[in-house]
Amino acid sequence: MNMNREEIIAALSPDKDPAELFALADKVRRENVGDAVHLRGLIEFSNHCRRRCYYCGIRAGNARVRRYRLSPEQILDCARTAVRLNYKTIVMQSGEDPHYDPKALASILEAVKTETGLAITLSVGEHSREDYKLLRAAGADRFLLRFETSDRRLFSMLKPDSDYDTRFRCLAWLKEAGFQVGSGVMSGLPGQSLESMADDILLFKELELDMVGIGPFIANPDTPMAGAHNGTLEAALRMVALTRIVTVNTHIPATTAMGSIDPKGRQKALRCGANVLMPNISPAEHRSDYSLYPGKICVSEAPEDCAGCMDAMLKNLGRARAEGFGHSLKSIEASPR
Ligand code: SAM
Ligand code: FES
C-alpha cells in the first residue's frame, strides 16, 4: 500500500491515536501473510565482536562482558534442539567474530544443513562480496543485516568504525548472492527524528527486503550510551504497523527487545503487523552473556520453556504456528518451500 513521507510522519507522531493504524496493519497482515506465525530458533553463537557500536553491550573493549564462543559441535546440538522443538529455521547470530570467519562458518553450515535440513538464517555482520557467496553456497538461505538508521549522521555517530555506504553495499551483495535479505533498525535512538524513521520505512520498501526487524533502542549501562532515554514500545509498534502497511508481505518479527521493555510487547506486535517469533535456543550457560541491552528476556529459560511460552502466547492470540520453512514471500531464488 502506498503512503507518502508526510503521511508516514503524521502516523508516527505520538500525538496521534494509533488504534486505527494498528487495526489496518493487522488487516494487511491477515490478508497478505495469513494468521500463522513462523518460529525461528535463535542461536547466539558468539559474543566476541571486533566493532565498537556505541549502543551495543557486546562491543569490543567492554571488559564487563564474559566472552564465549560455542564450538561447532555445540552449534550443531542447538540445531538438533530446533528439530526436536519442531522449528523449521535456525537463526545463527553473533558479533563480528574473526575466529568464525566465513570459511569456518561455511563448514558448520554444511554440517547443519546435511544433518537437519533446516532453513538457516545468518546474522553475522559485514563481509566481502565473495564471502557472502561462499556462505550462501555452503547452505545459508537468509541473512539479517540491519542498517540501524537511515540517518547518515546518526549512523556514523553510533557506529564509529563502520561506514554507511558499505552497510548498504553489503545488503546489495547479499541480494546478489541469492540470500533472502532482512534488514531493520532500532527505534527511539537518541537524536532520531520522525522524519528519519519515515525514511527508514520508505527504504525498507525501496530495498525490496524479504524480512524487516524493528526493536526499541535500550540503553546499556556498560556502553557510551549509558543513561540515554530508551525507545518506547509504542514508537516501535507504530513502525512495525507502518512497515506492514507499506511493504505488505515481508516477514516481520515481534522482537526480543519489544518483549524486554514490555512484558506484552511481542503479543502487541503480533497484533499490529508482525508474523514471526524468534525463540532463543542458545545453551543456558551462555544466554545471559549475550548482553546487548539490560533486561533481556528469556535468559534463564531452557529452550523447551521458550517453546511452551510461544505456543501459549499464540493460543492466547488465536493464532497458530506456521508449517513449512516460512521462506520469503517475495524472493524467487528461495530454496524449495
Ligand atoms: N553483529 C551483527 C550485526 O551487527 O549485524 C549481528 C548481531 S547485532 C548484536 C544484532 C542487533 O542487535 C543489531 O543489529 C542491533 O540493532 C541490536 N542491538 C544492539 N544493541 C542494542 C541495544 N542497546 N538496544 C536495542 N537493540 C540493540
Ligand atoms: Fe559488534 Fe557493532 S559492536 S557489530
Q: Which atom of ligand 2 is least distant from the CA of 58?
A: 3
Does residue 182 form part of some domain? yes
Does residue 330 form part of some domain? no
Query: Mutation test of ligand 2: which of 45, 54, 56, 161 has the most ligand atoms closer than 8 Å to its C-beta?
Result: 56
Q: How far is the CA of 24 from the centre of ligand 2 (A)?
A: 35
Single-letter amino acid, residue 254:
A
Place of cell 558468539: 46
Q: How far is the CA of 292 from the centre of ligand 1 (A)?
A: 7
Q: Which atom of ligand 2 is least distant from the CA of 159?
A: 2
Ligand minimally distant from the alpha carbon of residue 222: 1
- Give CA 113 to chain center in angstroms: 21
Does residue 334 form part of some domain? no
Average pLDDT, 10 consecutive residues per value, the chain (337 residues): 96 97 98 98 98 98 97 98 98 98 97 98 98 98 98 98 98 98 98 98 98 98 98 98 98 98 98 98 95 94 93 97 96 45
pLDDT of res. 1: 87
Instruction: Please work out whether the CB of residue 96 comes within 6 Å of at least one atom of ligand 2.
Output: yes
Instruction: Please work out whether the CB of residue 217 comes within 6 Å of at least one atom of ligand 1.
Output: yes
Ligand 2: which residue has its CA nearest to atom 2? 53
Does residue 336 form part of some domain? no
Instruction: Please work out whether the CB of residue 148 comes within 6 Å of at least one atom of ligand 1.
Output: yes
Domain count within the chain = 1
Q: Which atom of ligand 1 is least distant from the CA of 49?
A: 1
Q: CA-CA distance, 30 to 156, in Å (whole number)?
A: 38
Instruction: Please work out whether the CB of residue 293 comes within 6 Å of at least one atom of ligand 1.
Output: yes
Instruction: Please work out whether the CB of residue 56 comes within 6 Å of at least one atom of ligand 1.
Output: yes
Q: Which domain holds residue 57?
A: 5-316
pLDDT of res. 288: 95
Q: CA-CA distance, 251 to 328, in Å (whole number)?
A: 7
Ligand minimally distant from the alpha carbon of residue 145: 1
Strands 38-46 and 89-94 turn out to be parallel
Does residue 205 form part of some domain? yes
275-292 CB burial, b ≥16 within 10 A, e <16: bbbbbbbbbeebbebbbb
Question: What secondary structure letter does DSSP report for 21?
Answer: H
Q: Which atom of ligand 1 is least distant from the CA of 95?
A: 1
Radius of gyration of the chain (CA): 18
Q: How far is the CA of 293 from the centre of ligand 2 (A)?
A: 13
Q: Which residue spans within the chain are E strands per DSSP?
A: 38-46, 89-94, 119-123, 142-144, 180-187, 211-216, 276-277
Instruction: Please work out whether the CB of residue 65 comes within 6 Å of at least one atom of ligand 2.
Output: no
Instruction: Please work out whether the CB of residue 68 comes within 6 Å of at least one atom of ligand 1.
Output: no
pLDDT of res. 172: 98
Query: Mutation test of ligand 2: which of 51, 67, 155, 293 has the most ligand atoms closer than 8 Å to its C-beta?
Result: 51
Q: How far is the CA of 48 from the centre of ligand 2 (A)?
A: 9
Does residue 326 form part of some domain? no
Ligand 2: which residue has its CA nearest to atom 4? 51
Q: How far is the CA of 300 from the centre of ligand 1 (A)?
A: 20
Ligand minimally distant from the alpha carbon of residue 49: 2
CATH number at residue 101: 3.20.20.70
Q: How far is CA 153 from CA 54, 81, 137, 156, 188, in A?
A: 14, 42, 35, 5, 16
Query: Mutation test of ligand 1: which of 55, 292, 293, 297 has the most ligand atoms closer than 8 Å to its C-beta?
Result: 292
Q: Are 228 and 188 in contact (CB under 8 A)?
A: no
pLDDT of res. 334: 44
Kindly report the length of the chain: 337
Q: How far is the CA of 322 from the centre of ligand 2 (A)?
A: 32
Q: CA-CA distance, 25 to 188, in Å (whole number)?
A: 20
C-alpha cell at 80: 538438533
Q: Are 33 and 327 in contact (CB under 8 A)?
A: no
Cβ-based burial of 62 (10 A; exposed 0-12, middle 13-18, buried ≥19): middle
pLDDT of res. 332: 46
Does residue 259 form part of some domain? yes
Does residue 85 form part of some domain? yes
Q: Please name every residue paired with 211 in a beta bridge, in sequence order, or none if there are none.
A: 182, 251
